[in-house]
Amino acid sequence: MRLNEATRAVLQQLASSAKAQVRQVLRARIVLAAADGDSNGSIARQLAVSVNTVRQWRGRYAQHGLEGLKDAARTGRPRRYGDLVRVAVVAAATSMPPGPQATWTHTAIAAQVAADVTAPISASQVGRILVF
């Protein structure tokens, strides 16, 4: 693996940074050691990581350059309730409660949303939606 001077300088700065994330520092050190001609096993021992970790980051760097050393985007788990339910919860919470109630409870909002949108929702989930 060959590095030009500018790339090596960026990686050395990252590898010695006290403010960068530890995983970014580790990835920079892996690439620098690989550029110095060290084997995967040697790099793994020096940095106390698995050979698979070294292989992964060498490969990502070879394919994508410095951008490959950044964390990949993660999709995360999809929301349990869509925008329609979330809007219904907020709409209910910001409207006047029915009957003699002075304020909404999470349970009352859940019942109202279930009736309006025909989507069963728990009182605790109503609370989580209203926090955001």
Q: Is residue 76 part of a domain?
A: no
Residue of 122, 118, 43 lying closest to 84 (CA atoms): 118
Q: Is residue 52 part of a domain?
A: yes
pLDDT at 1 over 90: no
Whether residue 48 is found in the same domain as residue 100: no
Predicted pLDDT at 117:
83
Domain that holds residue 109: 83-131
pLDDT tens-digit map of 67-97 = 989 888 877 888 888 889 999 999 999 999 8
Q: Is residue 54 part of a domain?
A: yes
pLDDT at 3 over 90: no
Q: Is residue 74 part of a domain?
A: no
Q: What is the DSSP letter of 65?
A: G
Whether residue 58 is found in the same domain as residue 100: no
Q: Is residue 53 part of a domain?
A: yes
Whether residue 15 is found in the same domain as residue 40: yes
Tokens standing for residue 92: 């209910």
Whether residue 93 is found in the same domain as residue 118: yes
Q: Is residue 119 part of a domain?
A: yes
- Overall number of domains in the chain: 2
Whether residue 87 is found in the same domain as residue 64: no
Whether residue 53 is found in the same domain as residue 16: yes
pTM for the complete prediction? 0.58
CA dihedral 109, 112, 115, 119 (to 10 degrees): -20
